[in-house]
Amino acid sequence: MHNELGRNDYCWCGSQMKYKKCHAAFDDKIRFYQEQGCTVPTRDLIKTPEQVKGIRESAKINIAVLDYIAKNIRAGLTTEDIDQLVYEKTTELGGEPAQLGYHGFPKSVCTSINDQICHGIPSEKVTLCDGDIINVDASTIYKGYFSDSSRMFCIGNVDKEKEKLVRVVRECIECGLQEVKPWGFLGDMGQAVHEHAVKNGYSVVKDIGGHGVGLEFHEDPWVGFVSKRKTEMLMVPGMIFTIEPMVNMGTDEIKLDEKNGWTVYTADGKPSAQWEVMVLITEEGYEILAY
């Protein structure tokens, strides 16, 4: 990180304080880690208090959208119905679904059922059935600020194995969150997620991960969940990223739907589950912005 600011200039964070009284020591600390060879965030990944406010508002809409889906999801709905509910709720609250048209994605939400790992495309031909597990992944743009989170839903009577998978992936998020703290490393979190999945006999998808989010839908860093302690990017107050591990009952190998170019399946056809939370690193620890 280079330092173009003088110590008596106003700080880059918009506080109206002199740099030396505001983020100078913070920047020195980051530089210290960088000199030790650590991967550190660039300044554009550190959100200012004003940006955090805007991103938090966007995230509130995302939470409300998924709460609305939680209330309404049931067997007999099509994934197209879910797409409509997401679109209606997001726009009613003044937001816009970030997925819609993103790199040509045709719908407002991803709906990934059973052996679909992620990026399932809503369709009127897909009806939710008793025993299905589904990930609903929503994202919002509000006043230019982005948010992203996803939840699992069990439809009707789900068998014990699938129910356990859904529960364990939720626990993986909790294990990961215990390692989320300022001046720790993303790899501390990734290893904790991975260990909990493996302990339960599952595998974790290596090729798809979480990401920074807030000013864009997908920002740096890429966030893996098969990483090692003390590696990957330093977690610094003001960073916002997703924790969204995809955990498979069988192999971690994946298969892309060549026809639609989006949907990712498990290579062995066994179920996969994913939860996604969006976190802000704070001076004290973290804040979950969206879930």
Q: Which is nearer to ligand MF3, 50 or 207 (CB)?
A: 207
Q: Per CB under 5 A, which region of 99-107, 174-182, 224-232, 234-242 contacts Co ion? A: 234-242
Pattern 264-283, binding to ligand MF3, x per CB under 6 A? ------------x-------
- The Cα–Cα gap between 27 and 32 comes to 9
Helix, strand counts (H, E) of the chain: 5, 15
Q: Which of 63, 110, 117, 239 binds ligand MF3 (CB under 6 A)?
A: 110
Interacting partner of 105 out of Co ion, ligand MF3, none (Cβ under 5 to 8 A depending on kind): ligand MF3
Indicate which of ligand MF3, Co ion, none lies near residue 110 (CB less than 5 to 8 Å, by partner kind).
Answer: ligand MF3
Task: Confirm or reject binding of residue 222 to ligand MF3 (CB under 6 A).
Answer: no
Nearer to ligand MF3, 139 or 203 (CB): 139
Cα atoms found within 13 Å of the Cα of residue 165, Cβ hemisphere only: 28
Residue with the CB atom nearest ligand MF3 in the bound state: 105
Tell me the window of 5-13, 164-172, 225-233, 242-250 that interacts with Co ion (CB under 5 A): 242-250
What are the tokens at 64?
């409300």
> What is the Cα–Cα distance from 213 to 233, expressed in whole angstroms?
15
225 near 266, Cβ under 8 Å? no
**Phi, psi (degrees; rounded to nearest 5) at 63:** -65, -45
Q: Per CB under 6 A, which of residues 178..217 are in contact with ligand MF3?
A: 211
74 alpha carbon, distance to own chain's centre: 24
* CA distances to 84, 254, 265, 284, 291 from 186, in Å: 35, 23, 26, 16, 19
140 near Co ion (CB under 5 A): no
> Is residue 57 part of the contact set for Co ion (CB under 5 A)?
no
The one among 99, 242, 248, 263 contacting Co ion by CB under 5 A: 242
Per the structure block, which two tokens stand in for 212?
A: 């920074």
Pick from 102, 131, 282, 291 the residue near ligand MF3 by CB under 6 A: 102
Do 33 and 40 meet the contact criterion of CB atoms below 8 Å apart?
A: yes
Choose the stretch contacting ligand MF3; rule: CB under 6 A; options: 21-29, 71-79, 98-106, 250-258.
98-106
Q: Which of residues 141-170 bind ligand MF3 (CB under 6 A)?
A: 148, 150
Distance CA 175, CA 168 (A): 10
Among 19, 68, 87, 105, binds ligand MF3 (CB under 6 A): 105
Helix (H, G, I), strand (E, B) or coil at 195: helix
107/101 Cα distance (integer angstroms)? 7
Strand partners, 232: none
Instruction: List contacts with ligand MF3 (CB under 6 A).
Output: 99, 102, 105, 110, 119, 137, 139, 148, 150, 211, 244, 276
